[in-house]
Amino acid sequence: MNLPRAHVICTLFDHRYLPRGLCMIRSARRHGFAQDIHVLCLNDECEQAMAALALPGVNLITLAMLENQIPRLKVARGNRNIVEYYFTCMAALHTYLFETLPAVDGTMYVDADIQFFENPELVFDAIGDASAAVTPHHFVPQMRYLEEYGKFNGGWSAFRRTAEGLACLSWWLERSLEWCYDRVDGERYANQKYMNRFADIAPGTRILQQKGFNCAPWNIGNYKLTERDGRILVDDEPLIFFHFHGLKRRLGYFEFQHRQYGAPVSWLMRNKLYKPYIMELLEMERLYDAVAPAGESAGAPALRGSDRKLSTLLRKIAGHPRYAVTKLIHLVRDMPVLIIGQRAI
């Protein structure tokens, strides 16, 4: 029997990132992506909440299912911390889909904090018949030293069911199972620096150079953002997906992580990228809270962390007035999005 070929999106998150994952899924659907989206639920709280939401076309994978298919993950879980284990699971997630779903011809992994601004099919069109695909970090010039962590971003990857694509994926999985730690060690860093070798393993690897693909705080300083007919443009190229990396919720506001990447926050960036995203994120937090297991909430972990940050900040301000002035100036210049009740201001 000839099965219809499919290309799918996959992602992973726990309950703390679940609202961001919901934002990503909604953005893909909003812009017309009709194929399946597969979510690896990284803990029971996440799996229970996602099962309760029962989103159409969203298929849930548990860690138990993944480890049963790839038993060496159980060993990896015992010799690295939880974040390093999650990094290890990225190659395993692609592998799981190819091994368990014969109709899947292509997989595209996206981090939960990515948001689509156009149809993801445009990304699959750009990948075309390539066996694998990666997106460069495109760091601003003064931050290029960060390439010691990898030339390509580990928060996005794609493979096709070709001999070359599967060989590259198998190599990535093997390397990740062997060593995947949150430190630079020669040509290794987590699962990310291995991606530097993809083009050697699979010469058909496509490096997606489009400015609107995986635009992020670490590269947005290279570009001019404009708006035309309701669409955001990156140096006159359409913004296809943006990576909201490092967006942190403090007590009463959301803070951006652009300054550390040499990228000032512009009015358009704040009000056309971040503010709509934060408004939807707050909505998804409320949706999660409605189905969360007893005692869990999306906002609580962030707010507890904010309380600790606030107490530390207050101590620094009390002892160092100059620090307080500098912090205030940076805060105003970065134009954080304020949270008043259930509104983003």
Res 298 pLDDT > 60: no
Residue 235 belongs to domain with CATH number? 3.90.550.10
**Nearest to 254, CA basis, from 232, 229, 233, 279:** 279
Q: Is residue 178 part of a domain?
A: yes
**Rounded-to-integer distance, Cα 80 and Cα 103, Å:** 33
Q: Is residue 181 part of a domain?
A: yes
Beta-strand pair 237-238/132-134: unpaired
Q: What is the pTM of this model?
A: 0.90
* Ranges 53-62, 223-232, 317-326: which has the least confidence: 317-326
Q: Is residue 331 part of a domain?
A: no
Domain that residue 50 falls in:
7-245
Q: Is residue 64 part of a domain?
A: yes
Q: Is residue 267 part of a domain?
A: no
Q: How far, CA to CA in Å, does 316 sit from each of 256, 293, 326, 331? A: 21, 37, 12, 15
- Per-residue pLDDT at 200: 97
Mean pLDDT of 198-212: 98
For the residues of 57-110, what is the DSSP string, one character each? TEEEEEHHHHHHHSTHHHHHHHSS-HHHHHHHHHHHHHHHHHHH-TTEEEEEEE
Two tokens, residue 254: 């959301």
Tens digits of residue pLDDT in 212-262: 999 999 999 999 999 999 999 999 999 999 999 999 888 788 888 887 888
Q: Is residue 46 part of a domain?
A: yes
Angle between helices 321-333 and 299-319 (to 10 degrees): 140
Q: Is residue 125 part of a domain?
A: yes
Mean pLDDT of 33-57: 98
Domain total in the chain: 1
- Per-residue pLDDT at 316: 53
Alpha-carbon 309 to chain mean position: 24
